[in-house]
Amino acid sequence: MRSKIVWVLVAVISCVFLSSCQESMQSKGPNPLGGPSVNGFITSSGKDFVGADGQKVILKGINLGSWLNQEMWMMDVKDPDIPDQYTFEKVLKDRFGESERQRLMDLYRANWITERDYKIVKSFGFNMVRLPFHYNIIENDARPMTLRKDAWKWLDHAIALAEKYDMYVVLDLHSAVGCQSDFDHSGRKNWNKFWDDKKYWKRTAWVWEQIAKRYKDNEIIAMYQPINEPWGGTFEQQVEVFDDIYHAIRKHDTKHLVSPSAHWSGFGHYGDPKDHGWDGIVMSQNFYPGLFGGGPAIPEGHRAFLENLEPNIQSQIDKLNVPFMVTEFNVVFNKAGGGEMMRRHYDRYEELGWAATAWSYKVLTSPGMSNTGGWWFVTQYGGKSTGRWWAVTNKNPRMKIDLNTSSKEDIEAYIKELGTMELRINEEFRNAMVKKESPAKILPKGQLPPLGKAPAQEKLGDWTATDIAPEGTEIWEGGEVVVGDDGLDIYAGGNDVWGTADSFRFVWKKVKGDFEFEILVKSMEFTEVYAKTGIMIRNSLDADSSTVFMAPIGDGTVEIAWRLKDGAEMADKMIMGTDFPVRLKMVRKGDIIERYFAAETGDWFVYDSIDYPELGDEAYVGMFACSHNVGRLTMTEHRDIKLKVK
């Protein structure tokens, strides 16, 4: 098996309009779910979070993403030349000058999150917000290791609003000096310099020392998280950097909890905090099951994921005897269970005594429909919503601007509207969270009865069917049932189409020269997460042949993969948010293979093109399927099969 890369009591008065809803929400007082209000400093007792009275506290909330640390996809900025906050600010500076850049950035921060947003967060029953921030709101970039004149303006503001609405805050450095990873959310995409120069470590530790000085007595802050997702460095570097920052904090602040961020693969490399002399430690990790590993994006996949937390994560926490926090999570997809599944996650984390903050509170969408916008390739798939990252989004389409060409007045108006635009609240999520009763448990998916023999081996025209596997590897014989003039149900076994060699059933034609090949994959019987079916081009019928394919896997996500030389390792990408039925197409133009997908009805989406020089003049083209289950054949439905040779 492999891993792949890899919103809660309804308000006291039932509100029809957002404005009336906001007026009815209490600005301070008990958590609507009956959970704890702010109760002094959060400390730890063994694995528990405890309040000032020594009683166990359950912390649950949400991230205020893209507020003090911008992420373009969350802002519905789809300009490939503006992929990150660095570029966003540079465009403003280049066009309008430094003072106007600062003014416009402050205007953005004054409007992305306002007091009404804290009211809405409260209405979900949350008692905590995680606050991702960029180091440059504190440190003066022009004079490293000196404070900006307005260094505490935004953190003070955010913390004061949390206090007013009776919620704790997690301070999360999302963008470190020098960028701790290649990802856009580290501040500057593909500019991961942090790990190569210790001056960035020193500056980051200095930032945290200033934070510790200022907030050492602030009981609204639940914990510090020194660096979000420090994935660009080695495990040894991550431990060393955290140790430096930890001691910089502890010079001034011995009260607040501190959390080292896990690598995507886990937090084991930090070892036992006691061995480092670290106290007041909270282990943490981000979970996106069905999106980045952790099982399929279906209810069964999430059930299994939540059940496996005890042996996989809690067992480590038991040994370390420290608290744990899920700093980011989201089920995203409707097909995975939507709002009720989010509640199941919160309930499970509470059961384990963990803190949890979902990602994220607000994501702008275009044109304000109930989808997530343009972060992944399919969101408004076929005109329907496939998933939601957000608790709130814009209800109506927003004015159009181009950061490079629009006037400063239009850009300013666009930013100001962020604070006044009508919001669409994810009521499914909120209603699930405010219900007194937890959702019913999901029962394990029953095992399909063994199917080792295909019902038929019918032939569709001049297509040929072959079971392909490495030499010496057993594979159950598959089969086909013809449906109409251009349809085929394929029954297939096989271990996988992956690695350096493949095991699957292939229905093919040998085609010379250029062609277009498309099909509709109507469905696939779920036999395993990485079961797959789709279209393929191969250089030969050998198991280790070079190949390019497109295939929905067991959760409906489309996998785009390639092995460009015989015997080489397979490489892949994933298109997230898709679901059956899905149309797939590949077009050959010499050595170039273009790949497309579409909903059952609608326009084709051009995914990419790939240079495949190993492919001979004649190529094997066709449909394939693999059960990824040695004890059962899967059944897949292929329709509208069209091959056009040019």
β-pairing verdict for 128-134 and 60-63: parallel
Which of the pair, 40 or 544, is modelled with greater confidence?
A: 544
- Please tell me the predicted confidence (pLDDT) of residue 8: 27
SS (H, E, C) 74-121: HHCCCCCCCCCHHHHHHHHHHHHCHHHHHHHHHHHHHHHCCHHHHHHH
Which of the pair, 442 or 481, is modelled with greater confidence?
A: 481
> Is residue 304 very low, low, confident or very high in pLDDT (cuts 50, 70, 90)?
confident
Average pLDDT over residues 65-69: 97
Token code pair at residue 286: 């981000």
Token code pair at residue 55: 């009683």
Q: Is pLDDT of 5 > 60?
A: no
> Is residue 37 very low, low, confident or very high in pLDDT (cuts 50, 70, 90)?
low
Average pLDDT over residues 176-205: 95
- Please tell me the predicted confidence (pLDDT) of residue 45: 97
d(CA 328, CA 382): 29
- Please tell me the predicted confidence (pLDDT) of residue 222: 97
> Is residue 3 very low, low, confident or very high in pLDDT (cuts 50, 70, 90)?
very low
Token code pair at residue 388: 């939601």
- Please tell me the predicted confidence (pLDDT) of residue 318: 96
Which of the pair, 131 or 15, is modelled with greater confidence?
A: 131
- Please tell me the predicted confidence (pLDDT) of residue 603: 83
Closest C-alpha to 12, from 34, 32, 41, 30: 32
* pLDDT digits 0-9 by tens, 461-502: 999 999 999 999 989 999 999 999 999 999 999 999 999 999
- Please tell me the predicted confidence (pLDDT) of residue 445: 64
Q: Is pLDDT of 296 > 70?
A: no
Average pLDDT over residues 344-367: 92
- Please tell me the predicted confidence (pLDDT) of residue 144: 97
Q: What domains does the chain contain, in order, with CATH numbers? A: 60-434 (3.20.20.80), 464-645 (2.60.120.200)
Q: Is pLDDT of 13 > 60?
A: no
Token code pair at residue 578: 């898709």
Q: Is pLDDT of 282 > 50?
A: yes
Q: How many C-beta atoms lie closer than 10 Å to residue 121's C-beta?
A: 28
Q: Report percent pLDDT > 90 for the chain.
A: 72
Closest C-alpha to 265, from 288, 285, 280: 285
- Please tell me the predicted confidence (pLDDT) of residue 227: 97
- Please tell me the predicted confidence (pLDDT) of residue 402: 94
For the CA atoms of 83, 88, 94, 99, the dihedral, rounded to the nearest 10 degrees, stands at: -160
- Please tell me the predicted confidence (pLDDT) of residue 605: 82
Backbone phi, psi, residue 384, to 5°: -125, 155
- Please tell me the predicted confidence (pLDDT) of residue 15: 31
d(CA 335, CA 333): 5
Q: Is pLDDT of 580 > 80?
A: no
**Residue 111 CA to chain centroid, in angstroms?**
25
Closest C-alpha to 200, from 225, 224, 232: 232
- Please tell me the predicted confidence (pLDDT) of residue 399: 87
Per-residue DSSP letter, 199: H
Per-residue DSSP letter, 512: E
**Residue 482 CA to chain centroid, in angstroms?**
39
- Please tell me the predicted confidence (pLDDT) of residue 294: 67
Q: Is pLDDT of 29 > 50?
A: no
